[in-house]
């Protein structure tokens, strides 16, 4: 049995960058020498429809890419909370976009972290980096990938196509790290 086997589900509306968030985690995990699967799922109307992805990370080959009971959830909208929160493993971590999601009664057996993704992104001047704020929080709050490895991967993936956006993405990532560390008392 694998010593390290973790599952992530990231979910929200199409256009919120949840698939990219999952890809960055998958690439960072691969760079750290782990086995990875990444499976996207989205409705026919990508922007505005529902979108989610599953990422499985292990130190051994992965037998099934399905993540029925994730260790971590990234929730960017209210419908995704209703759909995926019941499947989160006890002891798991749920990061949610507190600008669009209300979660007044978190489960007692998980750690829920409110991340004001949209507010931070707007403060930085580009609402499209809300997913990167959450990515930073995810890296800081979990052992899926290291903060440094995730940040390097983000720079590599964003740098090729969108070099002008690297700086704002790095700032957004760092702000997410701060939110998670504060929430966890680190």
- Can you give the residue ranges of every domain in the chain? 5-184
d(CA 160, CA 122): 24
Q: What is the pLDDT of residue 64?
A: 87
Rounded Cα distance between 141 and 145, Å, is 10
The per-residue pLDDT string of the chain (186 residues; one tens digit each, 9 = 90 and over) reads: 567 789 999 999 988 999 999 999 999 999 999 999 999 997 665 556 789 999 999 999 998 889 999 999 999 999 999 999 999 999 999 999 999 999 999 999 999 999 999 999 999 999 999 999 999 999 999 999 999 999 999 999 877 667 778 999 999 999 999 999 999 998
Q: Tell me how crowded residue 43 is: count the other CB atoms within 10 A of its CB.
A: 11
The pLDDT of residue 1 is 56
- Enter the CATH code of domain 5-184: 3.40.920.10
Instruction: Count H helices and E strands in the chain, helices first.
Output: 6, 6
The pLDDT of residue 163 is 73
Q: How many CB atoms lie within 10 A of CB 110?
A: 17
What's the pLDDT score for residue 159?
Answer: 72
The model carries a pTM of 0.93
Question: Residue 169 to residues 8, 113, 129, 154, 185: CA-CA distances in angstroms?
Answer: 21, 21, 6, 8, 24
Residue 40 has phi, psi (to 5 degrees) of: -85, 155
What is the C-alpha separation between 87 and 167, in angstroms, rounded?
36
């Amino acid at each position: 049995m694998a010593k390290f086997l973790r599952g992530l589900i990231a979910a929200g509306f199409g256009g919120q960058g949840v698939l990219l968030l999952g890809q960055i985690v998958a690439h960072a995990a691969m760079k750290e020498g782990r086995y990875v699967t990444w499976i996207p799922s989205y409705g026919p109307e990508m922007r505005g429809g529902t979108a989610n992805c599953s990422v499985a990370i292990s130190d051994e080959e992965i037998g099934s890419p399905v993540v029925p009971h994730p260790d971590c959830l990234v929730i960017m909208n209210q419908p995704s909370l209703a759909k995926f929160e019941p499947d989160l493993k006890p002891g798991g971590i749920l990061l949610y976009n507190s600008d669009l999601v209300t979660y007044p009664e978190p489960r007692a057996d998980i750690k829920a972290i409110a991340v004001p993704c949209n507010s931070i992104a707007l403060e930085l001047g580009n609402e499209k980096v809300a997913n990167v704020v959450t990515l930073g929080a995810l890296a800081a709050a979990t052992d899926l990938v290291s903060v440094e490895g995730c940040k390097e991967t983000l720079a590599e993936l964003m740098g090729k196509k969108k070099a002008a956006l690297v700086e704002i993405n790095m700032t957004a990532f760092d702000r997410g790290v701060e939110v998670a560390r504060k929430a966890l008392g680190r």
